[in-house]
Amino acid sequence: MTTLVTGGAGYIGAQTVRALRNASRDVVVLDTLERGNKQAVIDAKLIVGDIADQRLVAKICRKYKVTSVVHFAAYKAVGESMTHPMKYWQNNVSSTLKLLETLQAHNVSQFVFSSSAAVYGTPKSSPVTEKEPTFPENVYAETKLAVENILRSLAIDGLNSISLRYFNAAGASSDNKIGEDWATSQNLVPRVMRALLDDKFKFEVFGDDYATPDGTCIRDYIHVEDLAVAHVKALDYLESSGTTTVCNVGTGKGTSVTQLLEVAAKIAKREVPHTIGARRKGDPVSVFADATLANKVLDWHATHDLQSIIQSAFTWHSTHPNGYR
């Protein structure tokens, strides 16, 4: 009984691989390494390849007796999705369809999907529950919702899945071995860390004129280790005859960009150098989670606060100025 982790050399994927192995699960990783890092996988079994390579995926299923899949393999930069939409539809949706077709042919019936709170767009109110209507505001979010819909329809064919709509993963592993390489990430926290540690980097806040208390976007930042544990819990749920569903994974606390900068400045003991730019197309205004369903159904709870998240990120970036290179 092996769990295949696609995109397992990526930031969240690598953390989840570790959490699965800590739970005594057999794991094999499939990653192109286009945006992942071999070093992040540490000593887990890594196969370099594409989820759209159906012959390769079939071989992996047979050789390792794959019974479940945790699917991370996707592009995830909001801005890039708006300028290169076809790239996102092909990679995030078309390739996933090929993966699912192969898995069904090999009777893999448990599937955990890395979805996103971005499917909600800007909800009418926060915290947002899973019952909130979905209104994706960028192509990245549209591709995530498309895969959710595909998985919902495949339940009739016996593929049980859970789509984890997680919020903003951040932070580094508690042992400082796995972090988010700022060279390959457009996420806020690594960009803030780079602004603090790389004098050549110009950090821009995308807009300060939103309808929020301080004018900057509000998000729910969740420690990546907490998020990794949620995937283990999701597999437990499916193995206990859980049916296809979607589930928010977040802390339930909204933090603005300005508030995050203040926490980072306190930890670094200096202000974060930055400029204010225009709004970025496709950015929702305010989104943070109601994680009641995850608490109840998955028996999962976030254990880290924002201070812990930023401290772990600052420690990792301070000791890994060149990432994994």
Give the catalytic positions in this structure. Answer: 140
User: What gap in Å lies between CA 155 and CA 139, rounded to an integer?
Assistant: 25
- Pairwise CA distance, residues 10 & 32, whole Å: 10
DSSP 129: P
The residue behind tokens 């996707």 is 74
| DSSP letters for 43-108 | TSEEEE--TT-HHHHHHHHHHHTEEEEEE--S---HHHHHH-HHHHIIIIIIHHHHHHHHHHHTT-
Q: Which residues pair with 46 in a beta bridge?
A: 29
Running DSSP on this structure, what letter comes out for residue 289?
B
Q: State the Cα–Cα distance between residues 218 and 196, nearest whole angstrom.
A: 21
Tokens of 101: 């077709």
CA distances (Å), origin 102, targets 13, 63, 188, 238 = 21, 14, 35, 20
